[in-house]
Amino acid sequence: MSDAPSVPPSTDRTGRHGPTIRDVARIAGVSIGTASKALNSNGRLRQETRDKVTAVAREIGYRPNDMAQSLHRTRSMTVGVLSTDSFGRFTLPIFQALEEQFADRGIAIFMCNATDDPERERQHLDQLLGKRIDGLVVTARRADKRPPVGPLPPGLPVVYVYSQADDGDALSLLADEDGGARLAVKHLADIGCSRIAHVTGPEHFEAVQQRKRGYYAALAEAGLAEHPGYYRAGLWSEAWGREATELLFAGDAPPDGIFCGNDQIARGVVDALRERGISVPGQVAVVGFDNWEVMTTAARPPLTSVDMNLSALGHEAGRLLIDMIGGEKVRGIRRLPCTLVVRQSTSRQG
Amino acid sequence: MSDAPSVPPSTDRTGRHGPTIRDVARIAGVSIGTASKALNSNGRLRQETRDKVTAVAREIGYRPNDMAQSLHRTRSMTVGVLSTDSFGRFTLPIFQALEEQFADRGIAIFMCNATDDPERERQHLDQLLGKRIDGLVVTARRADKRPPVGPLPPGLPVVYVYSQADDGDALSLLADEDGGARLAVKHLADIGCSRIAHVTGPEHFEAVQQRKRGYYAALAEAGLAEHPGYYRAGLWSEAWGREATELLFAGDAPPDGIFCGNDQIARGVVDALRERGISVPGQVAVVGFDNWEVMTTAARPPLTSVDMNLSALGHEAGRLLIDMIGGEKVRGIRRLPCTLVVRQSTSRQG
DNA sequence: TTGAAAGCGCTAACAA
DNA sequence: TTGTTAGCGCTTTCAA
C-alpha cells in the first residue's frame, strides 16, 4: 500500500477528521512535539526539520483541527451573532461590517436567527454556549428596548447593535436618530425652508419618537415656529407619504420643506408633489431617512436622505466586542452620528 | 469557601471554558464515567444517581463543550455558508431558509462573505475546514457559472445555491428562470394580450438569457408572432423601464402586454404608462420578476410578478446537504419551479 | 451499578 | 535540537 518504504510502519489510520499532526510526524519521521513546533513556527528547530515537516504537512493536506486547539486555548475564536428579528435590510450592512472585522482576525461567526421567538432564542443561545463562543452580538430590526438575552455565563462579552437591552450593564450601539433628524431639519432651514413638516411612521417606534424630538429641537434652534398639523405619524409606506401630502396641502398653510421618517414615505411625498404639479425642490424640498439607495436614487428627483451609517455601527460593534474579549470592560449606550447625503430633492445641482 | 462540606476536597479549579463534567462528577460524588452516562441518559444507572448528577449539573450551570464532543464524533455539527457575493436581497431568503433547516437539527452555521475576492474566499475556506465543518453551502447573487470552490477535502458535501459551479460533479440548485418567463408570458396571453414585449436587464446575465428563451418559447406556444423591437435589454432599473416604455410606444405597433426582467423595470414601466395616460391593466398589462414586495406593492397598480421561491430553494438546499452529510450522493443541476403571483397590473380585481 | 483508563487532536512544559 | 508526556473536556470500553 505504502509508496514510501522509508516511512516507519504504522497503523495506516488517518484521523476521522482527516490527517492529524500524528500522521505528519510519523511520515516526516519526527516526534509529535517536533511536528507541532515546526508547524507553529516556534521553538528552536533545525531549518531542515522544519522544512521537512511542513512539506509533509502540505503533501498530505494536513490542516490543524481548530476544535482540538481551542480545547487548550482559552479562546474558541468564534463569536455568535444572534438576530432577534429576521435578517433584513437594516441588519444586513451591520452583518457585513461585523463579518469583515472578525474575518480579519481569524474569528469565525456563528449566525443565528430567532425571529421574535423566545423559545428559539433560548435554543440558539444554548447551542452557541455549547460552542464556547468568545462573544455575542445581538441585533434587531428595531432599536426598541428588549429584555437582555440570557442567562449567560458571567463574563461573556455581549454587544447589542441597533438594538437595546433593558439592562444598564449592557453595551448598546445605536444610531443617533435625534441627531439625524436635526441634520435633516437644519439642512432644510439652511436652504431657506421656513415651514417644515414631518411625515413619519407609527408612533410606537422608538425611532419615531427620537426623530420627532430632533425635529422639534431643530425647528426651535432655527427659530422656526411649530405648526399644528405639520407633524404627521402614519405608516412606513409610500402610500402614506402620498396621503400625508394630500393632507398637508389641503390646509391653508402648505409646507415648503418636508422631512420624512423614511425613504419610502419620502418617495411617496415627491410622487404626490409631482403629480400635483409642485416642483421639488423648487417649491418644496424633501428629505428622507435611511439612505436606502433603491429608494433614494429611483425617486424623481433623487432623494436627499439621512444615513444611519449602519456599516460603521457594525464595524464599531466588532471592534468593541474584540476589545471586550481582550478583557476591556465596556458598557452603556453609545449613539453613533448620522450623516446627511444630499441629492436633488433639496438642491438643484445634486 | 465551600458551602457544601460533604464535597470531597478539590483543587477548586473550574475549567477555563466553564464548569466541566469533572466538576459535576466531583460535586455529585461520582466518577466522570458515571456523570457522563447520567447526563447523556445512556448506560445502566440507578435513577437516584442519575437525578443527583443532573441536579448538580443544573445547579452549577454545566454545559457540555461541543468542541470536546466533536473530537470524538465524526461530526462537528456545523456547516459553512459561503457567500461569494455580498449578502443581498437574493441571498437573504436563502439564508433564512437554510438557517431554519439546520437549526432544527442542531447544526450551527458559520457565515462567511467573500465578495468576489478569491483571496478572501481561500481564507474563509481554510478557516471553515479548520473548524471541520460537515458541509458547505455556496451562494451568490448571480446564477452565473463560477469555478468550483476548493481545493476541498474529498467527500466534503457541497451544494451551490442560486449559483452554479463549473464542475459536473457538483450539485447546483437554481430557479427555473426559463419556466418563470413562460409563466409570465402565458399569463399575459391568457388574459388576452397578443402583442407582448419583454423589457429586461443586461444581456450578459445568464438569467437574462434564460428568461429571454422562455419568453420566445412561450410566444411560440401561444401562437403569437415575434415582433422586432419588442425585446429590449438594458439595465435593472426603473429609469430603464421608463425609457424602454418610451421606445416601445414611439413605434407604430405598441404592445398590449409587457413582461419585465425584474420588478424595478416593471415599476418604471407602469409609471411611464400612467404618465402617458395609458391604463394598466386596461390597455397594457404588465408582469414583473422577483416578486420583491417593496416594489410590487408600492407600484401603482401593484405588480403581478414571478416569484423564484428562493426560500424554497434554501430549504431544499438545506435538506439535500443534510442528506449528503448522511452519506447520500447527489449531483447535477436542479431547477426549482417559479410561481406567478397575480396582482392588479394584470387583473382588475387583484 | 459504578469506576478507571484510554484516547479524540493538539499544545506546552520538561527531559534528554 | 528533538522527544516525551501531561493534559484540554469528553465518551466509551473494560474492570470491578
The DSSP bridge pattern shows strands B135-139 and B231-233 to be unpaired
Closest nt to residue A32, judged CA to C1': D3
On whether the CB atoms of residues B198 and B215 are closer than 8 A, the answer is: yes
List, edge to edge, every strand of the sheet that includes A171-175: A332-336, A171-175, A158-161, A135-139, A78-83, A108-113, B108-113, B78-83, B135-139, B158-161, B171-175, B332-336
C-alpha A266: how far from its chain's center?
Answer: 24
A8 touches chain B (CB under 8 A): no
How far apart CA B167 and CA B150 sit, in angstroms, is: 12
Residue A14: what pLDDT? 58
Q: What is the residue-wise DSSP string for A264-295?
A: HHHHHHHHHHHHTT--TTTT-EEEEES--HHH
Return per-residue pLDDT of chain A as tens, 350 residues.
333 333 333 334 456 678 999 999 999 999 999 999 999 887 788 888 999 999 999 999 999 999 999 998 889 999 999 998 777 788 889 999 999 999 999 999 999 998 878 899 999 999 999 999 999 999 987 767 888 887 899 889 999 998 888 888 899 999 999 999 999 999 999 999 999 999 999 999 999 999 999 999 999 999 999 998 999 999 999 999 999 999 999 988 999 999 999 999 999 999 999 999 999 999 999 999 999 999 999 999 999 999 999 999 999 999 999 999 999 999 999 999 999 999 999 996 54
Residue A350: what pLDDT? 42
Q: Residue A26 has what DSSP assignment?
A: H
The dihedral region occupied by A192, where left means phi > 0, alpha psi between -120 and 50, and beta the remainder, is: left
How far apart CA B113 and CA B127 sit, in angstroms, is: 12
Terminal CA-CA length for chain A: 73
pTM: 0.90
Residues of chain A neighbouring B120 (CB-CB closer than 8 A): 103
Bases of chain D below 7 A from a protein C-beta are 1-5, 7-14
Q: Sign of the CA dihedral B50, B55, B57, B63?
A: positive
B164-191 mean pLDDT:
94
- Is residue B181 over pLDDT 80? yes
C-alpha B42: how far from its chain's center?
Answer: 38
Contact across the interface for A298 and B109, Cβ inside 8 Å: no
On whether the CB atoms of residues B167 and B229 are closer than 8 A, the answer is: no
How far apart CA A68 and CA B15 sit, in angstroms, is: 15
Residue B94: what pLDDT? 92
B109 touches chain A (CB under 8 A): yes
How many CB pairs lie under 8 A apart between chains A and B? 130
Closest nt to residue A53, judged CA to C1': D2
Q: Which of residues 255-274 of A touch B (CB under 8 A)?
A: 264, 267
A304 bridge partner residues: A287
Residue B7: what pLDDT? 37
Q: Is the peptide bond before A281 cis (omega within 30 degrees of 0)?
A: yes
Which range (A157-166, B255-264, B297-306) has the least confidence? Answer: A157-166
Distance, CA of B325 to C1' of D7, in Å: 32
pLDDT band at B147 (very low <50, low <70, confident <90, very high): confident
Give the contacts of A240 (CB within 8 A, at least 6 positions apart).
Answer: A199, A234, A265, A268
- Is residue B267 over pLDDT 80? yes
**Residue B338 to chain A, least CA–CA distance (Å):** 23
Residues of chain B neighbouring A123 (CB-CB closer than 8 A): 103
Residue closest to C11, CA→C1'?
Answer: A72
| pLDDT tens-digit map of A269-315 | 999 999 999 999 999 999 999 999 999 999 999 999 999 999 999 99
How far apart CA B131 and CA B76 sit, in angstroms, is: 8
On whether the CB atoms of residues B229 and B248 are closer than 8 A, the answer is: yes
Please list, residue by residue across A16-34, b when 16 or more beta carbons sit within 10 angstroms of its beta carbon and e when fewer do: ebbbbbbbbbbbbebeeeb
* Collapsed DSSP state (helix, strand, coil) of residue A28: helix
Count CB-CB contacts under 10 A for residue A5: 5
Q: What are phi and psi of B333, to 5 degrees?
A: -105, 125
Max intra-chain CA distance, chain B: 98
Residue A263: what pLDDT? 98
Residue closest to D12, CA→C1'?
Answer: B33
Nucleic strand C within 7 A of Cβ B69: no
B243-270 mean pLDDT:
96
Q: Would you state the cell numbers that stand for residue A316, as one nine-digit string? A: 464599531
How far apart CA B87 and CA B93 sit, in angstroms, is: 10
Q: Where are the alpha helices (DSSP H) in chain A?
A: 21-28, 32-39, 47-60, 66-72, 91-104, 118-130, 177-190, 206-221, 238-250, 263-275, 293-296, 310-325
Nucleic strand C within 7 A of Cβ B16: no
The DSSP bridge pattern shows strands A285-289 and A304-307 to be parallel
Nucleic strand D within 7 A of Cβ B202: no
Higher pLDDT, A243 or B15: A243
Give the contacts of A249 (CB within 8 A, at least 6 positions apart).
Answer: A276, A278
Q: Would you state the cell numbers that stand for residue B307, as one nine-digit string? A: 416569484
Nucleic strand D within 7 A of Cβ B311: no
For the purposes of burial, counting CB atoms within 10 Å of the CB of A274, is it exposed (0-12), middle (13-18) or buried (19 or more)?
middle
A239 touches chain B (CB under 8 A): yes
Domains of chain B: 21-72 (1.10.260.40), 76-175+313-337 (3.40.50.2300), 177-308+340-346 (3.40.50.2300)
Bases of chain C below 7 A from a protein C-beta are 1-14
C-alpha radius of gyration, chain A, whole number: 28
- Is residue B179 over pLDDT 50? yes
Residue A143: what pLDDT? 64
* Collapsed DSSP state (helix, strand, coil) of residue B322: helix
Which range (A284-288, B53-57, B84-88, B118-122) has the least confidence? Answer: B84-88
Residue A300: what pLDDT? 95
